[in-house]
Every structure is written in C-alpha cells, then in structure tokens.
Amino acid sequence: MDKKKKNEKLEILRHSASHLLAHALMELYPNTILTLGPATKNGFFYDFLPENNLGESDLEKIAAKMLEIANRDLEITQQEITKKEALELYKDNPFKIELIEGIKDKTVGLSRQGDFYDLCKGGHVKSTGALKHFKLTNLSGAYWRADKKNQALQRINGVAFATAKELRLHENRVEEAKKYDHRRIGKQLDLFSFHEEGAGFPFFHPNGKKVLNILTSFLRKKLEKNGYQEIQTPIMLSDELWKRSGHYDHYKENMYFSTIDDKSYAIKPMNCPGSILTYKTRPHSFRELPLKFSEFGLVHRHELSGVLHGLFRVRAFTQDDAHIYCTPEQIEQEILNLVKNVETILSRFDFADVKLTLSTRPDDAMGDVKLWDKAEQALENALKKTNLPYCINEGDGAFYGPKIDFIIQDSMDREWQCSTIQLDFFQPENFDLTYVASGGEKKRPVMIHRVLYGSLERFFGILIEHYKGKFPFWLAPTQIKVLTITDNQNDYATKVGQILQEHGLRVIVDQSSEQISAKIKTAQLQQIPWMLILGAKEQENNTITLRPREGKQEFGLTVEQLLKKANLLLQDS
Ligand SMILES: [Zn+2]
Ligand SMILES: [Zn+2]
C-alpha cells in the first residue's frame, strides 16, 4: 500500500477512534455534552462540556471503557437524516445545534455504533473492533471553536494505530524523542539558553555558536561555488516598504514595530524586500541573469508565548535566504540547480530520507495562467531530472507562485520540512523589477525565493535531536580532547594540542589533576568525538592513543597519522 493510501486509512481509523472516545464518555458520564472530535497527526481528540470536570486520573477508566466498546465489535453505520430530525435529536446540545444550523445541505450525516450516535458526514472503519490499538495521552482545556470568548471545554487527546506493533513503535519514538529533546541536550552540552528577559529569543553559548558558525561557513562555501553573491540588508525598514510588499496587510499581527524620527518602522519578518531594493539600485542586463543574492538574514516574527518551543519555535531566527532573479526560460535550469544544491547539502547530515513535494496553482492565484502552466511544467521537468521521489500537492501553492518543499526524515523517523524553493510572479510586478533584454527592451524577471536550512536555529535544534547530541566530527564544537594520565605528560599534551590546533582542529587539553577515568567520563558526557590519551609510554615514543567516541581504541599513532584521519572526516565541509 502506498503511503498516501495508508495515511488516508489511518485518518479514518483515528477519526473513528474519536467517536469511540465520545461513546465511552457518554456511557460513563451520560450528562456530558459532546462537541467535536477530529483525527490529528498521530491520533484524535474530542472536545466536550463535562457535567463535572474530569481529571487526568479519569483517563484510565475512560480508556478501559473504550476498549470494552471496541471489544463489543459494534458495526458502525452511516445514515442521512433531515435537519429537523437532527435538531430534535440534539435539542439539549447547543454546540451540535450550531453545527447543524451551519450545514448548507438539507440533510445531515449521522453515524451509529450500538445505541451511540454522533453527528458526522462519515468515513469510518467498519466496526469498533478495528479500534483496539489506541492510548489516551492527556487531558487539556479547550474553547468552543478555539475562541477564548466562547464556552470553555475539556479535551481528551489520544493516539491510535492499526496494529499493536505500530502503537508500540510510536510509544518508543515518543520516549526516545523525550530523552533526546534538544532543550535537554542543549543544557547538557552548554549550547544555548533562554531567558525570561527575552522569551523566544535564543542565547547561543560558545559551543552552540561554534556549531552555527560551522553550518554557516559550510553553506557559504557551497554558495560561492554556485555563483551566489552574499548581501546584507537592514533589520528595520520603514512601514511604507512593508505596505508595498504586502507584509503589512497579510502579516502585521506577527511583526514588531518601532519608531525612528517619528517615522514608523517594522523589524523585518522576511528578507525579500531588502533583496529587492538591492536589485533595484541599478539596471541589470540579461547577461547578468540568473542573478543570485544570498543573505543570512536575522528575522523577527511574533509567536504567541504558548507555542514557543526551544529552538523549534522562536521569535527571532536567521534564515539562510537567497533570491534568484531570472528569465522565465531559465526557471527549469535554475530549479534543477537548486534541487541538486539542496540535495548535496542535506546529504552531509546523514538524514534517512529526503522527499520532495511540488505545490501547484491554487484557486486564488494571481498572474498569467500561461506563465503558471509553463512554470509548473518547468518545475516538474526539473524534478524528473533529479531522480528524487516527489509528489504533487494540487492547488497547494502560494497565490504568487508554485513551490517545492523538501521533507527530511531524521534518525528517529520523524519528518521535518526545512528547505523550500518558491517561485514568485508577484513581487517583480509589485516592485516593477526589470532587466534589459538582448534587444534593449525592458522585461520582467521571475523571482525565486529559497531557504535551505530554513531557520538556522531550528535546523540546529533538529540536528541536536537527529544526532542525539553526538555531533559528527566535522560539526562537533570540540572535536578532540587531549587527556594526560599524569602531570608528567602536561608539556607533551600541550605540544600535541598546539599542532592539532594549528591544523585547524578544535582541541581542548585537559590538564586537570583528575584521575584519567574521571577525565574520560567528562569527555564522554561532553560527547567529544575523539579523546587522545597520553601516558608515559606515549610520551616516550612520541605517539598517541586515540579513543574515539564510537569504535575501538587505537594505539601508537603518530600526529601525522592522526591528522590524516581527521582530514578524511573533514572532507567536503
Ligand atoms: Zn465520524
Ligand atoms: Zn524571499
């Protein structure tokens, strides 16, 4: 079964599980007023108004009741009833009445299992017997229609899978993810912190900043090779610019504002307008195209405090942004270059899988339909040439152009979307961007926005969890720790450390008076890829014992042999 079909089946199962939860609630607490219960990413929830508030401790009883109903193996049937009948059925439930009144058709759907019924347009498993592999995860508060002004409700969340094995695998993954939460590892490895004085604004410590710098320089080298020119544009720009770019109208709620000389300014939530102003400073010949401006741009976006989540959801982050100005004819080649570029860079990070999705013209698209068709064709042609798996999300593109997203799969089988390539027909028009064509006439370029890591901060967070804190040699903030067995080796250790440092390696020499076993323990906790153990024998023979984080200890290495080994690991970084 392909993944899409499997996901559809799972969604049906999870949605059915929400009815099962509602059914159990009604049997246990007949005065509960039900509202809605959809499927979610890994499971389902149901929102309800309880007679008496439920607590976490009630979940066990509810789950047991659900299992009991599942074991009854009740057939789930679907019927259409008139709105009048539905209103009669739900005469004591103001939420369902509101839902029924909101339905445009003359009839409404009703699903039944045993003597339980629920308002629903259908799409269920055949019987409750298929719903045995679930778990209730937590109880939380909710509001009717997610609006704080409305009635406060309770919500029970759960996960559901088709088999016991899948449920167990999911639970293992959740446990693993908790164990390797980047916020926890960030503290352990002294990478970053958050402070009350700036909620959502990360502080990077020397170790964390080191990794960010490596990520940046790795990318910068690749960009230079691929003809990008790096620019830097201001963090604050006047309101007028954001009004013209459309951000003010569409994104104002997420922007921060300030005033300079009585004039209103906004802190940039995106880098595009800065790139556009740079492009417009002089005329461009067709010979210059494609013109590629890259920028590591710090953007600020307001997020509600409740959704802030370590480095995954912050209020300030650095986008590894680029804007490519090209002719419509160059789209295909540029997209192909970009996809290859992204793939090469992502391949350095040991992700299990990289997939692509192409999102095409939505209903509210702006611009010439012919240009859209041509561009979508060019994008698809480019994707075919890459030989990477991709799927098409019909109608899911932005109103100003189609886009390609990259989905990566980490070491814990979780999917992340980081890189995006977005075509834009709107801003070139909006900002009257032109280039001089071969005949001397002015023409409109196409703009391609692309991010690779996406947000450097978020990508760092993903890498921390993906590697479980064990950064590969090329990324580790400290690559090598030199450990002496006694104080007699201190001079030798300093010398070895110096040579390695001169060769660009990140080295710490541990000359503390701790026992060697304690020194090793510390280095292990710091997840240092290489420990060099130096004792009397090593000093005498001018050699090194290498104790790598993974794998076997190696004795009698010379410094040259060690450097050679290190260089192998550092190739292409
Ligand atoms: Zn349903
Ligand atoms: Zn952009």
* Ligand (nearest to CA of 233): 2
The two three-digit tokens of residue 4, written as one number: 């899409």
* Ligand (nearest to CA of 422): 2
* Ligand (nearest to CA of 19): 1
Q: What is the whole-number distance in angstroms between the Cα of residue 194 and the centre of ligand 1? A: 42
Q: What is the whole-number distance in angstroms between the Cα of residue 167 and the centre of ligand 1? A: 22
- Cα distances (Å, whole numbers) of residue 436 to 283, 288, 324, 445, 537: 7, 10, 16, 10, 72
Q: What is the whole-number distance in angstroms between the Cα of residue 8 and the centre of ligand 1? A: 14
Tokens 């814990």 label which residue? 412
Please tell me the distance from the alpha carbon of residue 526 to that of residue 185, in angstroms, as a whole number. Answer: 10
The b-or-e profile of 85-99 (16+ CB within 10 A means b, else e) is ebbebbeebebbeeb
- Neighbouring residues of 567: CB distance < 8 A, sequence distance ≥ 6: none
Q: What is the whole-number distance in angstroms between the Cα of residue 399 and the centre of ligand 1? A: 32
Q: What is the pLDDT of residues 196-245, one digit of tens each?
A: 999 999 999 999 999 999 999 999 999 999 999 999 999 999 999 999 99
Q: What is the whole-number distance in angstroms between the Cα of residue 341 and the centre of ligand 2? A: 18
Predicted pLDDT at 389:
87
Under DSSP, is residue 422 helix (H, G, I), strand (E, B) or coil? strand
Q: What is the whole-number distance in angstroms between the Cα of residue 115 and the centre of ligand 1? A: 15
Tokens 């392909």 label which residue? 2
Indicate the helix (H) or strand (E) that contains 247. Answer: helix 247-251
Strands 446-455 and 530-534: unpaired
- Neighbouring residues of 519: CB distance < 8 A, sequence distance ≥ 6: 483, 510, 512
The two three-digit tokens of residue 79, written as one number: 């019927």
From the list 288, 312, 317, the residue with the least C-alpha distance to 301 is 317
* Ligand (nearest to CA of 77): 1
Q: pLDDT per position in the chain (573 positions), as tens? A: 577 788 899 999 999 999 999 999 999 999 999 999 999 989 999 999 999 999 999 999 999 999 999 999 999 999 999 999 999 999 999 999 999 999 888 899 999 999 999 999 889 999 999 999 999 999 999 999 988 899 999 999 999 999 999 999 999 988 988 999 999 999 999 999 999 999 999 999 999 999 999 999 999 999 999 999 999 999 999 999 999 998 888 889 999 999 999 999 999 999 999 999 999 999 999 999 999 999 999 999 999 988 899 999 999 999 999 999 999 999 999 999 999 999 999 999 999 888 899 999 988 888 788 888 888 988 999 899 888 889 999 888 888 889 999 999 998 888 899 999 999 988 999 999 999 999 999 999 999 999 999 999 999 999 999 999 999 999 999 999 999 999 999 999 999 999 999 999 999 999 898 999 999 999 999 999 999 999 999 999 999 999 999 989 999 999 999 999 999 999 877
Helices and strands (H and E) in the chain: how many? 18, 27
Strands 530-534 and 480-484: parallel
Please tell me the distance from the alpha carbon of residue 468 to that of residue 188, in angstroms, as a whole number. Answer: 12
The two three-digit tokens of residue 308, written as one number: 């802030």
Please tell me the distance from the alpha carbon of residue 164 to that of residue 400, in angstroms, as a whole number. Answer: 45
Q: What is the whole-number distance in angstroms between the Cα of residue 99 and the centre of ligand 1? A: 14
Q: What is the whole-number distance in angstroms between the Cα of residue 462 and the centre of ligand 2? A: 23
DSSP-assigned states of every residue in 48-84: EE-SS---GGGHHHHHHHHHHHHHTTPBEEEEEEEHH
Q: What is the whole-number distance in angstroms between the Cα of residue 103 and the centre of ligand 1? A: 15
Tokens 């009854």 label which residue? 72
Identity (one letter) of the amino acid at 531? M
Predicted pLDDT at 207:
97
Is it true that the peptide bond before 290 is cis, omega within 30 degrees of 0?
Answer: yes
Please tell me the distance from the alpha carbon of residue 296 to that of residue 279, in angstroms, as a whole number. Answer: 17
Please tell me the distance from the alpha carbon of residue 20 to that of residue 15, in angstroms, as a whole number. Answer: 9
Our CA dihedral for 554, 556, 558, 559, rounded to 10 degrees, sits at 50
Predicted pLDDT at 396:
86
Q: What is the whole-number distance in angstroms between the Cα of residue 145 and the centre of ligand 1? A: 18
Q: What is the whole-number distance in angstroms between the Cα of residue 427 and the centre of ligand 2? A: 9
Strand partners, 325: 291, 447
* Ligand (nearest to CA of 447): 2
Please tell me the distance from the alpha carbon of residue 427 to that of residue 538, in angstroms, as a whole number. Answer: 65
Q: What is the whole-number distance in angstroms between the Cα of residue 229 and the centre of ligand 2? A: 15
Strand partners, 292: 324
* Ligand (nearest to CA of 111): 1
- Cα distances (Å, whole numbers) of residue 23 to 33, 126, 128, 366: 12, 16, 11, 47
The two three-digit tokens of residue 51, written as one number: 């007679």
Please tell me the distance from the alpha carbon of residue 402 to that of residue 426, in angstroms, as a whole number. Answer: 12
Tokens 């402070």 label which residue? 195
Q: What is the whole-number distance in angstroms between the Cα of residue 421 and the centre of ligand 2? A: 10
DSSP-assigned states of every residue in 13-53: HHHHHHHHHHHHHHHH-TT-EE----B-SSEEEEEEE-SS-
The two three-digit tokens of residue 36, written as one number: 């809605």
Residue 10 phi, psi dihedral angles, 5° rounding: -65, -40
- Cα distances (Å, whole numbers) of residue 315 to 294, 418, 456: 22, 17, 13
Please tell me the distance from the alpha carbon of residue 214 to that of residue 476, in angstroms, as a whole number. Answer: 9
Our CA dihedral for 381, 384, 386, 391, rounded to 10 degrees, sits at 110
* Ligand (nearest to CA of 450): 2
The pTM of this model reads 0.83
Predicted pLDDT at 412:
84
195, burial (CB in 10 Å: exposed 0-12, middle 13-18, buried 19+):
exposed
Q: What is the whole-number distance in angstroms between the Cα of residue 451 and the centre of ligand 1? A: 39
Identity (one letter) of the amino acid at 188? Q
Residue 56 phi, psi dihedral angles, 5° rounding: -55, -35
Q: What is the whole-number distance in angstroms between the Cα of residue 253 and the centre of ligand 1? A: 35
Under DSSP, is residue 159 helix (H, G, I), strand (E, B) or coil? strand
Our CA dihedral for 165, 126, 14, 172, rounded to 10 degrees, sits at 0
Residue numbers annotated as active site: 272, 301, 319, 321, 323, 403, 449
* Ligand (nearest to CA of 76): 1
